[in-house]
């Protein structure tokens, strides 16, 4: 089968983009002819995707109408059997282009959008969010099947987009266990590069510096952690965003650059996970939380906010420590426990690693995606 995947960008910072880069070669090995059309002219995974055998098409237009027209040309030239859209702009333009070309379209639901958490964000205007939801729901009528990352996202987005739950299939993201295993073997060299001693207690968060990711809550919690584990260091890996100035100010109050280190966007997050003692996800909401899957595959103990998608990933309290979102005190207690009771933390990491191998390897996920594509091509929209 021939699939054209339409996505907002192939930037290295996003989870959807990373998932595409990880799975592309595996899909091609399973007989999928894969093209990718991306809308933003941003450097990212172009080289890796080309090397994997992906046909790349930059559709960079100044308007949504221009983007739809550009995608129509790609669809007519490439004649895919199926168009697969991911992320908002790609969903809206890709669905419109595919429907007008009479090509079946599927869409990925990667986040639980349009909820109270999003409306509470200081960077989003409510009227714009409502308008986006209306446009998303209108274009969703042309979609043959939806792919959701978790059952939670499927249930929530079925209501918010007014589509039947039966049209949504759940397939999580996957990671390559061999690559993660190699990454974890570089603990000493990564720590040396960062100027960290072999015995320094290290916490790691990998996230964009945006309201959704709750890094402000993490830094507040870290102030309490330093009271019990004074030598602890918090590494923040991820690109700057709308919260960067606020986060840097908060970090200055809990030890400054020596204690809280802003690493910027990194291409070696698995290696950083292997060098850390605890991986932290402090998000207010998530569609999946792919970094948790990576940490599980790396064998790094996980402390995360107890969001429905995260609970789906970890499966049980045997695999991770979960705390309520926006509860800095509970997060601090969990981090202190993970740093000081290493036997318990390592037991949870071992259980999480076993769950990763059973559920989240890239081979298992790609098998399920190929089946999803086949059912979409064979079936109807009902």
pLDDT in tens, the chain (382 residues): 999 999 999 998 888 998 999 999 999 999 999 999 999 999 999 999 999 999 999 999 989 999 999 999 999 999 999 999 999 999 999 999 999 999 999 999 998 889 887 788 887 788 888 999 999 999 999 999 999 999 999 999 999 999 999 999 999 999 999 989 988 899 999 999 999 999 999 999 999 999 999 999 999 999 999 999 999 999 999 999 999 999 999 999 998 888 999 999 998 999 999 999 999 999 998 877 889 999 999 999 999 999 999 999 999 889 999 999 999 999 999 999 999 999 999 999 999 999 999 999 999 999 999 999 999 999 755 4
**Alpha carbon distances (Å) from 54 to 22, 44, 88, 174:** 12, 14, 22, 19
* Run of H or E including 203: strand 202-206
**Tokens describing residue 19:** 């998932």
Strands ordered across the beta sheet of 55-58: 55-58, 33-38, 2-7, 82-86, 105-109, 145-148, 168-170
Strands ordered across the beta sheet of 321-323: 260-264, 233-237, 202-206, 278-281, 302-305, 321-323
Query: Does residue 323 contact residue 334 with C-beta atoms inside 8 Å?
Result: yes
What letter would DSSP give residue 361?
B
CA distance linking residue 96 with residue 100, whole number of Å: 6
**Tokens describing residue 324:** 């309520």
The residue assigned the tokens 């997050």 is: 269
pTM for the predicted model, two decimal places = 0.82
Residue 102: CB partners within 8 Å, gap ≥ 6? none
Q: Which domains does the chain have, with CATH numbers?
A: 2-174+362-378 (3.40.50.2000), 177-359 (3.40.50.2000)
**Tokens describing residue 134:** 């209306």
What is the pairing mode between strands 302-305 and 321-323? Answer: parallel
**Alpha carbon distances (Å) from 382 to 100, 118, 375:** 20, 30, 12
CA 27, 28, 32, 33 dihedral sign is: positive
């Amino acid at each position: 089968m021939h699939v054209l995947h339409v996505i907002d960008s192939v930037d290295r910072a996003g989870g959807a983009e990373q998932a595409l880069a990880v799975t592309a070669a595996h899909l091609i090995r399973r007989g999928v002819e894969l093209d990718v059309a991306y809308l933003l002219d941003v450097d990212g995974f172009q080289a890796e995707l080309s090397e994997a055998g992906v046909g790349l098409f930059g559709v960079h237009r100044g308007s949504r109408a221009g983007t739809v027209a550009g995608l129509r040309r790609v669809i007519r030239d490439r004649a895919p059997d199926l168009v697969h859209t991911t992320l908002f702009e790609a969903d809206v333009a890709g669905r419109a282009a595919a429907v007008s070309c009479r090509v079946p379209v599927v869409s990925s639901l990667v986040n639980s959008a349009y909820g109270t958490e999003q409306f509470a964000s200081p960077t989003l205007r409510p009227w714009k969010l409502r308008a986006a939801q209306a446009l998303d729901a209108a274009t969703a009528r042309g979609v043959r099947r939806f792919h959701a990352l978790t059952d939670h996202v499927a249930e929530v987005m079925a209501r918010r987009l007014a589509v039947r739950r039966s049209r949504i299939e759940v397939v999580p993201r996957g990671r390559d266990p061999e690559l993660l295993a190699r990454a974890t073997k570089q603990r000493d060299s990564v720590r040396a590069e960062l100027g960290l001693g072999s015995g320094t207690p290290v916490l790691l968060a990998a996230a964009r510096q945006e309201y959704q990711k709750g890094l402000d809550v993490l830094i507040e919690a870290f102030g309490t952690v330093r009271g019990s584990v004074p030598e602890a260091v918090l590494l923040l890996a991820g690109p700057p965003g709308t919260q960067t100035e606020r986060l840097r100010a908060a970090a200055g109050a809990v030890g400054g650059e020596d204690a809280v280190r802003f690493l910027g966007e990194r291409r070696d997050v698995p290696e950083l996970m292997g060098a850390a003692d605890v991986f932290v996800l402090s998000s207010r909401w998530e569609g999946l939380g792919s970094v948790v899957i990576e940490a599980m595959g790396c064998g790094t103990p996980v402390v995360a906010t107890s969001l429905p998608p995260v609970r789906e990933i970890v499966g049980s309290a045997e695999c991770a420590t979960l705390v309520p979102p926006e509860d800095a005190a509970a997060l601090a207690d969990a981090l202190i426990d993970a740093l000081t009771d290493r036997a318990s933390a390592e037991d949870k990491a071992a259980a999480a690693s076993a769950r990763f191998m059973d559920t989240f390897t890239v081979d298992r996920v790609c098998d399920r995606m190929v089946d999803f594509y086949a059912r979409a091509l064979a079936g109807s929209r009902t």
